[in-house]
A = this chain, B = another copy of it.
């Protein structure tokens, strides 16, 4: 593991750099990637970002003009596991030098690059990029400030989640001073809901299942409901987050149909029971407060019953410890 100074020194020497983001890109991997890309470009160097998947339209403002060139160096940002690079990125990498440096903030990081700079207690990867730029003495312009603010805000639920640290707030202050368009970014990231999302939420809430003690809430989203409302897979996040917000609910479960006899489950819990432990009953896993698993069953009611049984079993076991 490199020190911050070593990572900064290494970055400062690079030119013709390809910066890799993780698949299904979010504001932090894109914010980190394009911030570094813009910083290289400002130094008169060549750099460009590559992601396995298309970049969602709402992140368009992050992207600078990027020239085409044959990369001499490859680095990655916010990629916790080589499996998260994705098949398109793997294909690119086949004809390129190996990944030289990984910059990441995931405590579960599986090292795949030649060198790693990890700050496992950082709320976002963008915070680390900010500290590296400081170490290199490279200036932050408005474009970079927009990128870094985006990662800070999106990885902390707009400074709402427990991972938000004093440093997160101080860097946000600095980015606003440097011109980050925080109002517009927050509006797009946090205050926009589509008709399809609202319609899907309506349908799902009409059929919400609650346990008698109102501590478990289960929403089921079928492919029929997606068709009916025109909502996309990407528009399910709002609903997944909704169950756990309901006053009194300790365990929020969303059962999403992906095909016939193919269901994906997202589970969110409060402070009383581990979501990962519940999902482990079905070969799934994740974090203490958010985890997932899959089922190859035909009937979502049967899946719900299995999950609820596992919840009570796990709550009992953890209470008995």
The answer on a CB contact under 8 Å between B159 and A198 is no
Task: Give the residues in chain B near A165, CB-CB below 8 Å.
Answer: 176
B162 & A159 in contact (Cβ 8 Å cutoff): no
- Which residues from chain B contact A312 at a C-beta distance below 8 Å? none
Please pick, from B159, B193, B214, the residue contacting A172 in the complex, using a CB distance under 8 A: B159
**Complex: how many Å from CA A244 to CA B193?**
9
Please indicate the chain B residues that have their CB under 8 angstroms from the CB of A194 in the complex: 246-247
**A246 partner, pick from B166, B172, B182, B193, beta carbons under 8 A:** B193
A245 B159 Cβ-Cβ under 8 A: no
Contact string against B for A residues 211-228, beta-carbon threshold 8 Å, 1 for contact and 0 otherwise? 000100000000000000
CB 8 Å contact bits of A227-268 with B (1 = contact, 0 = none): 000000000000000101111000000000000000000000
Chain A 144-187 interface 0/1 with B at a Cβ cutoff of 8 Å (1 = within)? 00000000000000111110111111101110110000110010
Chain A interface size, under 10 / 10 to 19 / 20 to 34 / 35 or more: 35 or more
Within the complex, the shortest CB–CB distance from A192 to chain B, in Å, comes to: 5
Decide if A174 touches B166 in the complex (CB within 8 Å): yes
- Give the most central of A160, A190, A214, A246: most B CB within 10 Å: A160
A167 to B174, CA, bound (A): 10
A247 and B192 form a contact (CB under 8 A): yes
Copies assembled: 2
Query: Residue A65 at the B interface, CB < 8 A?
Result: no
Residue A43 is within 8 A (CB to CB) of chain B in the complex? no
- Please name all residues of chain B whose beta carbon is closer than 8 Å to the beta carbon of A191 when the two chains form the complex: 160, 244-245
B245–A192 contact, CB under 8 A? yes
Contacts A169-B176, A176-B169 given; indicate if A160 touches B190 (C-beta within 8 A): yes
B183 near A162 with CB under 8 A, answer yes
Q: Is the CB of B195 within 8 A of A246?
A: yes
A9 touches B (CB below 8 Å) = no
Q: Which residues of B sit under 8 angstroms from A192, Cβ to Cβ?
A: 245-247
Select which of B173, B202, B245 is within 8 A of A206 by beta carbon.
B202
Q: Whose C-beta in chain B lies nearest to the C-beta of A199?
A: B205
Tell me the smallest distance from the CB of A52 to a CB of chain B, in Å: 26
Contact B173 A167 (CB under 8 A): yes
What is the CB-to-nearest-CB distance from A163 to chain B, in angstroms, rounded to a whole number? 9
Q: How far is the CA of A186 from the CA of B173 in the complex (A)?
A: 19
Q: Is the CB of B176 within 8 A of A173?
A: no
Within the complex, what minimum Cβ distance (angstroms) separates A248 from chain B?
8
User: How far, in whole Å, are A182 and B162 apart by their CA atoms in the complex?
Assistant: 7
Most buried by B among A158, A169, A194, A202: A169
| 12 A-B residue pairings within 8 Å (CB atoms) | A158-B160, A161-B183, A161-B186, A162-B182, A162-B183, A164-B182, A166-B176, A191-B244, A192-B246, A193-B246, A195-B247, A198-B205
Interface residues of A (CB under 8 A from B): 158-162, 164-170, 172-174, 176-177, 182-183, 186, 190-195, 198, 202, 205-206, 214, 242, 244-247
